[in-house]
C-alpha cells in the first residue's frame, strides 16, 4: 500500500473496535456512578394516606436494620399538603435537610450523620391521595459520602430546606408506609410528638445518577481520568494510522 493511510472514519466499524469502545464507555459510566445500587432497607411502599409534614415541621421515622449496611442514597415519597396541588413539585423547593440518628429508648438519640441535598426533583408515581386529588411523587438524593451502619435501631429525619429551621410557606407530606412509628416536631427542633405510622422510604448502597439526584456531580479527578483515557484512545489510533502498517491489536485497524 506504499505507506498510504486509508481514508475513512476515525472509528472503524470492526467488531474489535466496537468491543474496545464499549469497554471504554462502560468504564466511564462506572466511574461516574451511573450504576444504581441495591436497596438495603425498605420501610414499605407508600400508602395513599397523608403522613407527617416536612415543610412547616420536622419529621422522623423509626426503623430497625437487621444487619450492617452501607448507605449512599435515600428514596422517599411525598405529596403536597398545603396548599393542595396535583403535582407535589409545585410545593417543593428542591432542597432537603437529611439526618440519621440513633434511637434512645424510643426518642431521637445521637446523630450519626446529616447533609443537605439541593437541586432535587419529584417524579410522579401515578398514585393519588383520595379526596384532595394530590399526586404522590418520589424523590431520590445522595449523601455526600457513603455511611456504614451497623445492625440496630435508627431514626431517619427529613425537613424541606437547608436547615431544620427553614420554611418557605408551602408544605409537603412525607407519605405513610403503613404500620410503624414516626414523630413530628417544631421548626428548628428534632421531632417529638408521636404518630402511629411509619413513613415510606428506602436506603440504597450506591449513589443515584441522573434526574432527581441532587449530589451526583462526579469528582473532578474522575472526569479528568475519563477524559485522558478517551483522548489516549483516539491519539493512539491516529498515530498507528500514520505508520502505514496494519495491526489488529486491541482493535486498532490501520494500513
Domain assignment present for 159: yes
* Cβ–Cβ under 8 Å, residues 199 and 224: no
**Which residues, 6 or more positions from 69, have their beta carbon under 8 angstroms from its beta carbon?**
40, 41, 148, 149, 203, 205
What proportion of the chain, given as a percentage, has pLDDT over 90?
63
**Do 188 and 98 belong together in one domain?**
yes
Q: Quote the DSSP letter at residue 18.
A: H
Domain assignment present for 175: yes
pLDDT at 82 over 90: yes
- Average of per-residue pLDDT values in the chain: 77
Domain assignment present for 3: no
Domain assignment present for 103: yes
> How many domains would you assign to the chain?
2
State the average pLDDT over residues 159-171.
94
Domain assignment present for 211: no
Helix axes 15-31, 220-243, angle to 10 degrees: 160
Domain hosting residue 233, numbered range: 15-32+218-251
Give the bridge partners for 92, in sequence order.
none
State the average pLDDT over residues 17-43.
55
- pLDDT tens digits, 212-251: 444 433 333 334 444 444 444 444 555 545 555 433 333 3
pTM for the model: 0.70
Supply the pLDDT for residue 222.
37
The larger pLDDT score, comparing residue 21 to residue 251, is at 21
State the average pLDDT over residues 87-97.
95
pLDDT at 30 over 60: no
Supply the pLDDT for residue 210.
60
**Do 55 and 140 belong together in one domain?**
yes
CATH of the domain at 183: 2.60.120
Other C-beta atoms closer than 10 Å to the C-beta of 18 total: 13
* Cβ–Cβ under 8 Å, residues 59 and 97: no
Q: Mapped to the 3 state alphabet, what secondary structure does 113-176 carry?
A: EEEEECCCCCEEEEEEECCCCEEEEEEEEEEEEEEEECCEEEEEEEEECCCCCCCCCCEEEECE
pLDDT at 1 over 80: no
**Do 140 and 22 belong together in one domain?**
no
Domain assignment present for 187: yes
Sort strands 69-82 and 134-149 into parallel, antiparallel or unpaired. antiparallel
What would you measure as the largest C-alpha separation in the chain, in angstroms? 85
The larger pLDDT score, comparing residue 184 to residue 233, is at 184
State the average pLDDT over residues 201-206.
97
State the Cα angle at 152 between 149 and 158, rounded to 5°: 65
Amino acid at each position: 500500500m506504499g505507506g498510504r493511510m486509508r481514508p475513512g472514519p476515525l472509528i472503524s466499524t470492526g467488531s474489535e473496535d466496537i468491543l474496545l469502545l464499549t469497554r471504554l464507555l462502560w468504564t466511564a459510566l462506572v466511574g461516574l456512578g451511573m450504576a444504581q445500587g441495591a436497596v438495603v432497607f425498605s420501610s414499605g411502599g407508600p400508602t395513599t394516606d397523608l403522613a407527617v409534614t416536612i415543610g412547616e415541621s420536622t419529621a422522623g421515622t423509626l426503623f430497625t436494620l437487621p444487619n450492617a449496611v452501607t448507605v449512599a442514597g435515600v428514596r422517599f415519597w411525598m405529596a403536597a399538603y398545603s396548599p393542595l396541588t396535583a403535582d407535589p413539585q409545585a410545593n417543593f423547593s428542591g432542597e432537603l435537610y437529611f439526618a440519621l440518628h440513633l434511637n434512645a429508648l424510643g426518642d431521637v438519640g445521637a446523630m450519626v450523620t446529616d447533609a443537605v441535598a439541593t437541586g432535587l426533583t419529584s417524579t410522579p408515581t401515578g398514585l393519588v391521595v383520595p379526596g384532595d386529588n394530590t399526586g404522590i411523587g418520589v424523590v431520590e438524593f445522595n449523601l455526600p459520602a457513603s455511611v456504614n451502619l451497623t445492625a440496630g435501631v435508627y431514626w431517619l429525619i427529613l425537613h424541606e430546606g437547608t436547615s431544620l429551621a427553614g420554611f418557605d410557606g408551602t408544605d409537603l407530606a412525607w407519605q405513610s408506609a403503613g404500620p410503624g412509628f414516626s414523630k413530628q416536631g417544631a421548626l428548628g427542633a428534632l421531632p417529638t410528638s408521636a404518630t402511629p405510622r411509619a413513613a415510606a422510604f428506602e436506603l440504597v448502597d450506591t449513589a443515584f445518577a441522573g434526574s432527581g439526584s441532587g449530589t451526583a456531580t462526579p469528582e473532578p479527578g474522575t472526569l479528568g481520568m475519563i477524559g485522558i483515557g478517551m483522548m489516549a484512545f483516539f491519539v493512539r489510533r491516529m498515530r498507528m494510522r500514520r505508520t502505514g502498517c496494519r495491526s489488529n491489536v486491541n482493535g486498532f485497524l490501520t494500513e
